[in-house]
Amino acid sequence: MHLHRNLWSAALAVTAATLLASSPAHAGYDTPPEHLLKVLKAPPPPLPSVDPSGQRILLTTSQTYPSIERVARPYLKLAGVRLEPHNRSRHDTRAGYGIPACVADFTLVDIASGRETRVPLPAGACAGPAQWSPDGQRFAFQNAAAESVELWIGDAASGRIRKVPDVRLNPIFDSTVQWLDGSRTLLVKRVPANQGPAPADNSVPSSPDIQQALGGQGESSTYEARDLLASDHDEALFAYYGTSQLAVVDAASGSVRDVGRPAIYNGVNAAPDGVHVLTEAIKPPFSHTVTYQRFANDVAVLDVSKNTSTPIASLPLADHVPVHGVPEGPRAFDWRATAPATLVWAEALDKGDWNVTVPARDRVLMLSAPFTGKPVEIARTTQRFDGFDWTEQPGVAFLNEDDENRHWRHTSIVDIDDPRQPARVLWDLSSDELYGDPGRFVYRRLPNGAYVVRQDGDAVFLRGQGASTQGDRPFLDRLDLATLRSERLFRSSADAYEQFLGFTAQPGRFLTWHQSVIDPPNAFVRTLGARDDAAAQGEAQYASSTSQLTRLADPTPEVRQIKKRLVTYKRADGVDLSFTLYTPPGYREGTRLPAILYAYPADFASSAQAGQVSGSQQTFTRLAPYRLMLLAGYAIIDNASFPIVGDPKTAYDTYLEQLEADAKAAVDKAVELGVVDRDRIGVTGHSHGALMTANLIAHTDLFRAGVATSGSYNKTLTPFGFQNERRSVWQAQDVYIKASPFFYADRIKRPLLLVHGEDDANPGTEPIQSRKLFQAIRGNGGTTRLVMLPNEPHWYTALESNQQLVYEMLGWFDTYVKNAPAKK
């Protein structure tokens, strides 16, 4: 049953039960009030990208929301990838959560002069993000045209762009376009010439779909069945659309030369020498149980000058990988950035299973061209290998390890060319640690295209979020590798949020991206001055002068009237918590408002990290759909801390108790501040936050109503783990049931709105989750409403869908929270 758009006003005067019993069929998408709609449609701020030479910035502005017409285009679901067959463009992002956003505008900014050059995109273009050439003189991007995905190359000095003729890209498995041999050429995956038509489907099944298990454990993530292969025809389509021809494109002339043979290339990665290319090619038989990332594949190195290929490894189907584990055999192949053509990879020593106790979990191997010798073992890691960061000095690299069992990370400084040199510990800390996070390395791109950690003599640079008890204050540090001591070059002021972007071509200068509550994001140039020995702890130890480079305008000045502040408090057991409190335009202190709490529970191994403040109250305020309720007179208790604290192996034993304690602490604090009316609070969340929402409605009386979007409400349908719960449902049945509001639907008496995308393929949040919970609540006499958004994945993409979401949320909360009768 559905409520018609005209019934929300009537809902204020009649009971919800009467409405649900008499609601007519619904037609068309609804829209919220115009003042909310205007803000929803406002363009997002551009994303800045500094070219490798430090001479220019490219500002990329994406389309806010595509139309439902675009989102509803026919597409194929092929083993975890979604593809539009009419032009072979991707219908999902790499994470699988929504269709890729089209770039609406590219603007080049000259750093020295501030001159802006708008790039003239072709009419009707759906461009993808641009990729700088290593010398910063060109950029390349893909354009999803009507019949193909095109390759375009731009000139950075003039902004002029041109299409490379006769190249139909095949972006099905990413790594579609990359610079090769420095800035002279590009390596691309293209549709093979003369491939012929796609395999036809005669609609008559050729055989049943048969799967079998012949013993042995086979735990795996739960995938949406509609995205897996399920027939011989699906397999034929996967092979047809997955097959690519590798080609080398001359960036100056546009000439194209095919290299290698057509294959189902998944990963493609060029070596620093510009001659050798690592290829990972998927091979049959194809599984109907897992997605393409687990399919069997052959790893090889292609010599693009000789057109020969050298095999490295043949990897079988990986359909028995433990949850949170890794496949057995060689994995994580990459090139050494400081050598012409040297491969590095890892192999598990614990069968890829975190449950196994071993002295070392991984060994790391290395093999150089011509790749015919025996690999050399260069390291063994106590925990899971997490890659190298290579410096400009060949003998210095950073070896990273990760421990999922403890939420721990370890980084050591190593010389892989001289194993006699002992490793030096650089960092050893919780992966949940925010306040003590040293940051991440600043990179420099070499002329050959390889990325290395930027160095200044014996020092490297670190950029970080700068989390603190007052919120994030991003920083730039210089770390001396001899003493392992850092000095702070820059730290964002407390009344703004300013991030390091990159160094300019002029020594002593760098770029930042500055914003505040009232100032939209803009680029600034900072010049380092003299050292300030009197600087306070944690502040910049060097003075710097600034000049504004870009002057982007505020698209929604009416939003600046919204106020926000950081609020800190404690859970009953002493765990530190926080939220951001937003108040609507024109709010008068002392007035109690209806409020909406938004949160996403997070798992922590220690309470010390669980209570750390993340995010900033100084960012330029933009309104997500639920925040638009501010323009309707609500306060928002935003990003409230909802930690689930404990040993990662057993933390979910107390999930529900901790959830309730988190909610009570947040509500009590918001009421104590004198801003929120305790009797008029709603709750909302997405995905894991939707599970939280439904559980809080079922098990507490803190909230008058809830809105849960794209949630998973019956955890027994993901039997081999969820979030950080590693035990199976057969090992911890009570935990799964207790976390599942489906089994407590008879207790859901407060109104609960359920919204879900019809095409959600996120593991665990299949659309059936919302359908079944709706049926369970309805069958037990509860007040509920189910809104299924056509063609939408886990995150809603179309403008019409987001308009509907805002309309539904506003109507639900107005009816059951703002205008609800007083509690009896």
Contact between 743 and 715 under an 8 Å Cβ cutoff? The reply is no
For residue 522, is pLDDT > 60? yes
Q: Tell me the pLDDT tens digit for each residue of 799-813.
A: 999 999 999 999 999
Question: Is residue 8 over pLDDT 80?
Answer: no
Q: What is the pLDDT of residues 305-347, one digit of tens each?
A: 999 999 999 999 998 888 789 999 999 999 999 999 999 999 9
- Cα(717)–Cα(740) distance, rounded to whole angstroms? 10
Q: Looking at residue 173, what is its pLDDT?
A: 93
Pair of tokens at residue 609: 């990290």
In this prediction, residue 24 carries a pLDDT of: 47
Among 299-308, 309-318, 532-541, whose mean pLDDT is lowest?
A: 532-541
Q: pLDDT, tens digit, for every residue of 640-660?
A: 999 999 988 888 999 999 999
State pLDDT tens for residues 89-143.
Answer: 999 876 666 788 899 999 999 999 999 999 999 999 999 999 999 999 999 999 9
Cβ atoms of 497 and 516 closer than 8 Å = yes
SS (H, E, C) 276-329: EEEEEEECCCCCCCCCHHHCCEEEEEEECCCCEEEEEEEECCCCCCCCCCCCCC
Whole-number CA gyration radius for the chain: 27
At 3, the pLDDT band (50, 70, 90 cuts) reads very low
3-state per-residue secondary structure call for 99-122: CCCCEEEEEEEECCCCCEEEECCC
Q: What is the pLDDT of residues 729-778, one digit of tens each?
A: 999 999 999 999 999 999 999 999 999 999 998 888 999 999 999 999 99
CA distance 541 to 296: 53
Q: Which two tokens stand for residue 447?
A: 């002329």
Q: Give yes or no for a contact between 446 and 337, defined as CB atoms under 8 angstroms apart.
A: yes
Measured N-to-C along each axis, helices 655-672 and 688-699 cross at an angle, to the nearest 10 degrees, of 80
> Quick one: three-class SS letters along 606-664?
CHHHHCCCCCCCCCCCCCCHHHHHHHHCCEEEEEECCEEECCCCCHHHHHHHHHHHHHH
Percent of the chain clearing pLDDT 70 (strictly above): 95
Give the single-character DSSP code of 446: -
Q: Are 375 and 344 in contact (CB under 8 A)?
A: no
Query: How many angstroms separate the CA atoms of 246 and 178, rounded?
Result: 11
For 689, phi then psi, to 5°, come to -70, -25
Q: What is the mean pLDDT of the chain?
A: 92
Q: Do the Cβ atoms of 713 and 722 come closer than 8 Å?
A: no
| CB-based contact 777:745 (threshold 8 Å) | yes
| Cα angle 788-789-795, degrees, rounded to a multiple of 5 | 115
Q: How far apart are CA 88 and CA 378, in angstroms?
A: 41
Say how many C-beta atoms besides its own lie within 10 A of residue 437's C-beta. 19
Contacts for 484 with CB less than 8 Å, ≥ 6 apart: 424, 426
| CA distances, 793 to each of 20, 32, 107, 637 (Å) | 27, 22, 31, 27
3-state secondary structure of 716: helix
21 compared with 468, residue with greater pLDDT: 468
- In this model, does residue 392 exceed pLDDT 50? yes
Angle at 461 between CA 459 and CA 467, to 5 degrees: 135
CA separation (Å) from 379 to 288, 347, 371, 433? 37, 11, 19, 26
Instruction: Enter the pTM of the model.
Output: 0.92
- As given in the structure block, the two tokens for residue 16 are 């919800």
Provide, rounded to the nearest whole percent, the portion of the chain with pLDDT above 90. 84
pLDDT, residue 530, reads 80
Mean pLDDT of 629-639: 97
Residue 208 pLDDT grade (very low, low, confident, very high; cuts 50, 70, 90): confident
pLDDT, mean of residues 221-244: 86
- The pLDDT value recorded for residue 355 is 85
Q: Are 68 and 218 in contact (CB under 8 A)?
A: no
| 457 Ramachandran zone, left/alpha/beta (phi>0; psi -120 to 50) | left
As annotated, the active-site residues are 687, 760, 794
Q: Give the least confident one: 217-221, 548-552, 577-581, 594-598.
A: 217-221
pLDDT of 217 > 90? The answer is no
- Round to whole Å and give the CA distance between 258 and 79: 27
Q: Which residues lie closer than 8 Å to 153 by C-beta, 6 or more apart? A: 138, 139, 140, 161, 162, 164, 186, 251, 254
Give 13's pLDDT tier (boundaries 50, 70, 90).
very low
**Residue 198, Cβ neighbours under 10 Å: how many?**
12
Q: Note the helical H segments in 120-246.
A: 232-242
Tell how strand 116-119 and strand 103-110 pair up: antiparallel
Whether 211 has a pLDDT exceeding 80, the answer reads no
What's the rounded Cα separation, in Å, for the pair 642 and 705? 19
pLDDT of the residue at 721: 85
Give the residue, 535 or 728, on which the prediction is more confident: 728
Q: Which residue has the higher pLDDT, 404 or 480?
A: 480
How high is the pLDDT of residue 11?
41
Q: How far apart are CA 745 and CA 697, in angstroms?
A: 10
Per the DSSP assignment, residues forming a β-bridge with 342 are 368
Whether pLDDT at 178 is above 50? yes
The pLDDT score that the predictor gives to residue 212 is 74
Name the strand (E) or helix (H) holding 18: helix 16-22
219 has a pLDDT exceeding 70: no
Which residue in this structure is represented by tokens 């130890």? 541
Give the whole-angstrom CA distance, residue 775 versus residue 343.
54
* CB environment 93-121: b (16+ within 10 A), e (fewer): eeebbbbbbbbbebbbbebeeeeebebeb
What does the alpha-carbon distance between residue 643 and residue 637 come to, in Å, rounded to a whole number? 16
How high is the pLDDT of residue 224? 53
Model pLDDT, residue 221: 57
Give SS3 for 145.
coil
**What size, in residues, is the chain?**
824
CA distances from residue 54 to 115, 470, 681, 728, 812 in whole angstroms, order as listed: 15, 32, 50, 51, 50
Q: What is the pLDDT of residue 4?
A: 36
Judged against a pLDDT cut of 50, whether residue 19 lies above it is answered with no
Give per-residue pLDDT as tens, 60-75.
999 989 999 999 999 9
Chain Cα centroid distance, residue 382? 28
Q: What is the 3-state secondary structure (H, E, C) of 448-499?
A: CCCEEECEECCEEEEEECCCCCCCCCCEEEEEECCCCCEEEEEECCCCCEEE
Beta strands in 111-254 (DSSP E): 116-119, 131-132, 138-144, 149-155, 161-163, 177-180, 185-190, 244-250
Residue whose C-alpha is closest to residue 449's, from 602, 272, 703, 208: 272
Element (H, E) at 503: strand 497-503
CA distance 121 to 109: 16
Which range (530-544, 559-573, 787-801) has the least confidence?
Answer: 530-544
Distance (Å, whole) CA 52 – CA 200 = 47
CA separation for the pair 345, 349 (Å, rounded): 13
Residue 672 CB neighbour total at 10 angstroms: 12
Amino acid at 504: T
- Per-residue confidence (pLDDT) for residue 529, from 0 to 100: 87
- Tokens 């770029």, residue? 511
Do 602 and 692 form a contact (C-beta atoms < 8 A)? no
